[in-house]
Structure 1
Amino acid sequence: MGEIVPDHAIARQILDFFGEDHRNGVPEIFTNDVGTFETLTLYKGDEFLVKEYKSTYDEDYTMKFCTDESKYIELAFFLDGSEVIRDSVNGRIGEYKLFHHYIYFTQGNSDVEIYFQKEICYKNLDIYVAKDYFHQLAENSDALKDFIRKIDREKSASLFPEGLPITPQMMSILLEIKKCTLEGFYRDYYIKSRILSLLLLIFEFAKSEEEATSPKSKTSISTTEIHKLMEVKEFVEGNLKSFYTIEQLSLKFGINEFKLKTGFKELFGEGVFHYASKLRMKEALYLLKNADFSIKEIAYHLGYASPSSFSVAFKNEMGVGPSYYRKKNLL
């Protein structure tokens, strides 16, 4: 998938999320000779557990531990840190991209190593969902059924191994969970409802992405829709500094979201976001080669909220970071 890059909306939401005070409790802080690891429980119930994590180390550091048996499936949202976060579970290396989320289960008695790079602040939010709850969601999904079967056999499993991009809508729900000030029954009901909405949004997003990339998704496009898709393409080309969602483009140009995704890909050979990203990277390459702008200046020139957002997008598209391009004279 990987077509959506971090935009202004998500960057602001992440800053808002971690700018909140500890109204939901006091964080636990674990220190050693090279840094700190901080965890804050935002919600704890029978079916769900929500935790926020932060860590920073002065030297490269490998955290090692053995897992207990767990009744939870984990939803991990990677919100800040290195471009790729790596771990090892029983010797099997895993990679997790920044601004993406993953759904997985780790079997008990697994040897886990998490690799932290020095002087990088890692931030992530994890939502733990009881395994029994997932059974209720799996009734109408073959992918979920296969995922659950592995878990029922106490085997490690991942639902979306490549991860899914964190959308502004998903980030909004995380913010609502973080900012909830209700208490007692009302708090339980609200948090559960938001987590359910998040799960449904994730599964719907994954389904739409599969449909958009499936050969079976090709369908007839009317002349009117072709004209609208051409307008979308011209808008994208003329507004490289702007970031937008499929929903926003759909409303702006009066075209169905599904037709926008599948029709654009059918007409122009790639998705809207990937097309926009390629154009931004083409401009970035030109600036890296012909201008004396710093990486930070290029990032802001192209509309990215931060140099790290630009670097992640550049590496996703080009395979290496912009600094590496300049350093190795690959231009």
Structure 2
Amino acid sequence: MTDKEWMQLELNRMVKAEGGKVSVERMTEIVSELSQRLRENPNLPREVKTLTADELIARARKKTGEERYRIIKRALREEPDNITAACMEIEYLAKNADDRVHHYEDLTRKATERLKEQGLFAEENIGKFWSMPATKPYMFLRLSYLEALLAARKLRLAAKECEEMLRLSEHDALGRRYQLMFIYAAIEEGDAAIKLYQRYEEGVAMMYLPLAMLFYRLGKMKMARNFLNELVAVNNDTKAFFERGARGDLPTRAPGRHAGSFAIGTMEEFGEAVTDNKFAFLGMEAFFAWGLSELNGEQGA
């Protein structure tokens, strides 16, 4: 690709990214910016020819800091609407947890508007977003937004985000129903938690543990005790987990292990729950002391 071809290609992309229409003054600014970039790196035309946005993203994942950011900016020039690149840019630019929330909120709003314009929010698609290639990156964006909300301790907003993700992907391949249950436990939403439990009807520790925590917090000890007993039935390490919780030594995901790669019915399952839902375990020492007394056959509340 010649320098002239590269200039024209980049000019077209930048104009498109700004809505397709720019003033003469803005056009002059863009041309000046492109000329400056070309002077700084004469190899740009050849790089653009050989690297797609996805290839640039793959390269960026192997880098860190400003070097990664420079590559991501190139990916966004190549494909301004690339959600993955935009998320990586946010991770670099965000100044703090709250700023990260606002960046993701803005990106989610823009991406939602774009998908609606493309007709992807049609009624027949709702509930199937994870299985559709065109919307899978969007679901990862919403997951990043959810994680940002949790990091900023905006739990009620996080609950709404989880609920929206479950609406868009009813089979919940990302497992957000479990995180939503822990959020409900933390914000003490008993009715919503029961509806969620009835919706999926899963007899797993990731449901029973937050439900026991929730009803303990609400003072509904019979229900808390029932869910504790259900928890014991599906995970043989429940008592050992409560012993660790009572002494402030909660397990976490083993180093080097990926999310979801745990052995069901073991301490690894509890480590997964704690790692992904730290917010729900803050200040819960009394819960573990109560649960341990129940498991030891002592008289509880």
Higher relative contact order (CA 8 A, sep 6+): 1
| Length-normalised TM-score, structure 1 | 0.27
Q: Which has the larger Rg?
A: 2
Higher strand share: 1
| Length-normalised TM-score, structure 2 | 0.29
